[in-house]
Amino acid sequence: DSSECQDMVGGDACVVRCGHPYVGDEQVYACADGAFAPADAAVECAELTCDGGLPAGAAYSTGACEDVTVDGTCIVSCAEGYVAASALYTCGDDGNFSGSGPACERLL
């Protein structure tokens, strides 16, 4: 998001941030010699990935949910040794998954 940098003139500086749902360190940009450039390093933005909201414990297999980005989906399934079941989870723009289940019962 570079909205703070509108109407800059020579010698002005502003902060550039990643716009949601992207994340990264904000950077200072300056206007010098008619060019708009980073004062130090260019802003680098990466799409937000979800890391919360999944069921926890040995009964669940959540490996398919690594590196899922906003609005992406993944399947949580029951681990080996449990009755086969699965559930769909969706990555929200708050960095958490939404969904429920599956009900994983240990095999006898």
Number of helices and strands (H, E) in the chain? 0, 9
Q: Name which of 18, 13, 26, 14 is nearest 1 in CA terms.
A: 18
pLDDT score for 45: 97
For 20-53, how does the pLDDT look when each residue is reduced to its tens digit (9 = 90+)?
899 999 999 998 887 889 999 999 999 999 999 9
Cα separation, 78 vs 87, in Å, equals 9
Neighbours of 103 (CB within 10 A): 11
Residue ranges per domain, the chain?
A: 3-47, 48-108
More confident residue, 33 or 73: 73
